[in-house]
Chains A and B, each alone.
Chain A
Amino acid sequence: DTEVTQTPKHLVMGMTNKKSLKCEQHMGHRAMYWYKQKAKKPPELMFVYSYEKLSINESVPSRFSPECPNSSLLNLHLHALQPEDSALYLCASSSGLVRTDTQYFGPGTRLTVL
């Protein structure tokens, strides 16, 4: 089973709202990732968690705040977003045993910021 789940599937929010995206995997993976993907562009890495610790932050604005409560869960807290933040947000996981292991992606959350 290589399933990564994400909720919600779609999210519409105003610029003053606070919302969270959730990601879950039960493959025993210890590395989890957030990517942002704009239309007709490839995914861009935002954050990497390894063994529940933030390993990489790709200079992402502070209005995006990641959290890894345990080895199966990854959240992305959103606050004071801008319309240009509208995109597909993808979560991925990999074993974490080797950094270059295959990453498996969730179905994504389609975010629209009004």
Chain B
Amino acid sequence: GQNIDQPTEMTATEGAIVQINCTYQTSGFNGLFWYQQHAGEAPTFLSYNVLDGLEEKGRFSSFLSRSKGYSYLLLKELQMKDSASYLCAVTLAGSYQLTFGKGTKLSVIP
């Protein structure tokens, strides 16, 4: 089976930096996605990591360590609109299936 773990909730201050961690235990791991989901809306693609290392996209960066089964999403210069749930999801080699973690609800406060 697969096990994906991320914190349930986090709070951070506007303008600050926050790191959301995700650990996973799967066999046949292929890659890891991060999605943002505002309440009542669809998940929006943020990043995809297949190889070890850091991928940077503007204020958002995502890191993957395949050997440690670990990823994080780093959000810089937090804005109020970043308040949302952040879902990490893994894919297995040769599979269409996207398996989500339970999501981390981030609250950005003034």
Contacts and interface: CB of A to CB of B under 8 A. Distances in A.
Given A100-B31, A110-B40, A42 B87 contact: yes
B96 A88 contact: no
B89 to A, nearest CB: 8
Interface string B39-52: 01111110010000
A100 B102 contact: no
Nearest to A100: B91
B42 A107 contact: yes
B70 interface: no
Q: Which interface class (under 10, 10 to 19, 20 to 34, 35 or more) fits A?
A: 20 to 34
B40 A103 contact: no
Contacts, number: 55
Interface in B31-73: 31, 33, 35, 40-45, 48
Most buried by B among A48, A55, A102: A102
A105 B87 CA distance: 13
Contacts of A102: 33, 45, 48
Contacts of B92: 100
A45 interface: yes
* 3 A-B pairs closest in CB distance: A42-B100, A105-B42, A100-B91
Interface of A: 2, 31, 33, 41-43, 45, 48, 50, 55-56, 88, 90, 94, 99-100, 102-108, 110
Given A45-B98, A50-B96, A106-B42, 18 more contacts: A41-B102, A42-B89, A42-B100, A42-B101, A43-B100, A45-B97, A55-B96, A56-B96, A99-B96, A100-B91, A100-B94, A102-B33, A102-B48, A104-B45, A105-B42, A107-B41, A108-B42, A110-B40
26 contacts: A2-B45, A31-B96, A41-B102, A42-B87, A42-B89, A42-B101, A43-B43, A48-B97, A55-B96, A90-B42, A90-B43, A99-B95, A100-B31, A100-B93, A100-B94, A100-B95, A100-B96, A102-B33, A102-B45, A105-B42, A105-B43, A105-B44, A106-B42, A107-B41, A108-B42, A110-B40
